[in-house]
Structure 1
């Protein structure tokens, strides 16, 4: 959530060393990672803190810190500085006066206002102020101060690395949504998953579906699953094999610009695609890719070939790599890096 503290020792101030008016403070600048980390640890995913689109329409018009982020910083000062290690928290009141946004620097200050010598209890005024010097949080803490000196080596804490699942996938969707929708021949969308997927892409403005397959079955699937296909073009075919051929013909003649596989075996689609008569062959060998959204890698990771070319020769490998490079550039990676892996130890081509 923050930069690590410098190495050294952590030391407290026993009750007998503390007087009214003593104070301690820390300074912290809120980052987006702080907000995400606090949300993950606490489980508080209130959209005011984690959803930029929602926050823009909310009262503060921006993502703000969780209120208890400031409370945690107050606890930090009490537990590490004044009184420090050995402190027992008894009570804490807080008033949240102003929001704290990403980039705001907060000064957290605690000041001793009362001492109870009999019970070794302290009352401390707690204040968090922003960069303008205005209070954002105020409160009162009551603690039991330690009765002996404690000095310990400061522990080195592990790094906290946050991985946003689906980040690369979301960026690809946003890039696609910024373009004009593509006329797409959806091959045999005769189950819920394939038909619904095409309609979801349509609703995102990414494609214009042309449904290719048995029209009666497609309409039945839509009706049974409450899917709206009103106004969509349907190319009626008797079965899945004919649907693959018709869809490929739509692309070959320019009526569609892309193919989307539905509820049929991949071999049926590919047989029509690679057909020497009426297929979509080019001078380059076709290949398959997995586009992986890996949390530990900042860009989409392309793995190829995992389905079509089982034992490629050198010329085929060249086409496989070039296809992957072209795809990487199309989805936003202008300078892709290529790593060649081999399933065997012997290089034969």
Structure 2
């Protein structure tokens, strides 16, 4: 969608332009970085001087629009801006100067309560040629700042490296990821796979394997079995997936007689660092359990809660996701959510606050929860998202990675040792983040 600019000749005295802007958390953080911020009773507020940006951006992007140039302004501000405020922005043409094609716009910004936050003149060199913008309104600002894994890495710096069996690292990303984790002193790698192939690959990508233990195997299936054996006999304290398929490695882990099963159902957790979200977000299960029944969801949820504790989240808020917020016998995920909440009330799931069913928007957006009048200690501030099945979870996690610029780590819990489980498409950065989470889990188990 595009919009046409307004030429100097077409601007009339008294002509007005009005738009609204919803203040999101990313706006507050961005304005706070530039102009300072104050936190009161858990809510952040920023000085209303930040509104200058929204008013001047409205002039250059919308009215008069593309081709406009801000000459000067005399904007004055008062008060504070909070998350979820609705800014009402109005520009009115008060003067025109034909000699230099400039106009003076009287700018006013009020919040949803009618409080005036900013006002004053903006002098603009108006366009004289037709142009179109690529959006109907000035864009919403988004502040992208990753912080979750930086904080976790600071914790791992205090811990010794974990002996880790790296299963079949026979492509560049898996070998480079393992050796990067070794270089960062996260793991002591034991490379399990065809030795000749691993050494040839190392030479190709410029990796020095001096002093690195290699346990030779013939193929990927044998690599998985041998890596599990190393964990069973205590030579390794963790597993890291290489270039083999997930089901091939997990079949060795799940074997009843020679595997690594523990008392609980084994499940996967994505730890997501989403720039648009102010806290770490755990998504489970998006990789192991296809359509888990209620009993398995109990273990899946508890595994994620225990991981949240290890990551430093004292009492995580768990959102049990579905497509709606009401319980319906026609939608099994809503029934499971309600039962899991009751089980938590009775101590069968512990260490967290649970609520559900909740739709995704209500789980992570306070504004959406308020609009739908959902009174919940979890809604809008979830730390853990428990998805109804692997399809929903996998799509959700990958959408956050590819559309929301999220960093992620993948780990399997419930086995005798923690397992770094990433996609074969994941880069070295993701493998390092996953290794950092694994180190915290491995040391917490001790």
TM-score tier after normalising by the smaller chain length: 0.5 to 0.7
Q: Distance in 2 between matches of 1:257 and 1:184?
A: 6
- After superposition, the Cα gap between the structure-2 partners of 1:178 and 1:320, relative to the gap in structure 1 and judged at 3 Å, is same
Look up the match of 2:416: none
1:189–1:263 Cα contact (<8 Å) kept = yes
Whole-angstrom CA distance in 2 between matches of 1:309 and 1:259: 19
How many Å separate the matches in 2 of 1:187 and 1:313?
30
Q: In 2, are the aligned partners of 1:175 and 1:331 still within 8 Å (CA)?
A: no
Matched, 1:166 2:120: no
Which residue is 1:33 aligned to? 33
Pick closer, same or farther for the CA change 1:32–1:228 going to 2, 3 Å: farther
Cα RMSD for the two superposed structures: 3.5
For residues 21-69 of structure 1, the C-alpha deviation after alignment (integer angstroms, 9 at most, x for no partner) is xxxxxxxxxx971299xxxxxxxxxxxxxxxxxxxxxxxxxxxxxxxxx
Aligned to 1:175: 155
Q: Which residue of 1 aligns with 2:72?
A: 79
Equivalent of 1:215, from 186, 195, 199?
195
1:122-141 aligned within 5 A: none
Task: Note the C-alpha offset of 1:331.
Answer: 2.0
Q: TM-score, normalised by structure 2?
A: 0.44
CA distance in 2, matches of 1:240, 1:302: 30
CA distance in 2, matches of 1:193, 1:32: 38
Query: Which of 291, 295, 318 lines up with 2:298 in the alignment?
Result: 318
Superposed CA deviations along residues 130-182 of structure 1, whole A, max 9, x for unmatched, are xxxxxxxxxxxxxxxx9xx9782434689986533332122223322332111
Q: Unpaired runs of 5+ in structure 1?
A: 1-30, 37-77, 85-145
Q: Secondary structure at the match of 1:339?
A: strand
Query: What pairs with 1:194-273 in structure 2 (closer than 5 Å)?
Result: 194-273=174-253
Structure 2 CA distance for partners of 1:153 and 1:300, relative to 1, 3 Å: closer
Look up the match of 1:154: 108
Q: Which is worse superposed, 191-200 or 336-345?
A: 336-345
- Is the helix fraction higher in 1 or 2? 2
1:283 paired to 2:295: no
Distance 1:32 1:281, change over 3 A: same
Structure 1 CA distance for aligned equivalents of residues 173 and 265 of structure 2: 30
Classify the secondary structure of the residue corresponding to 1:211.
strand
User: What secondary structure, in the 3-state scheme, does the structure 1 residue paired with 2:321 have?
Assistant: coil
C-alpha contact 1:168 1:298 (8 A) present in aligned 2: no
Specify whether residues 172 and 286 from structure 1 end up closer, same or farther in structure 2 by C-alpha distance, changes over 3 A only.
same
Paired residues of 1:33 and 1:162 also in contact (CA < 8 A): no
What's the CA shift for 1:227? Answer: 0.9
Aligned length: 221
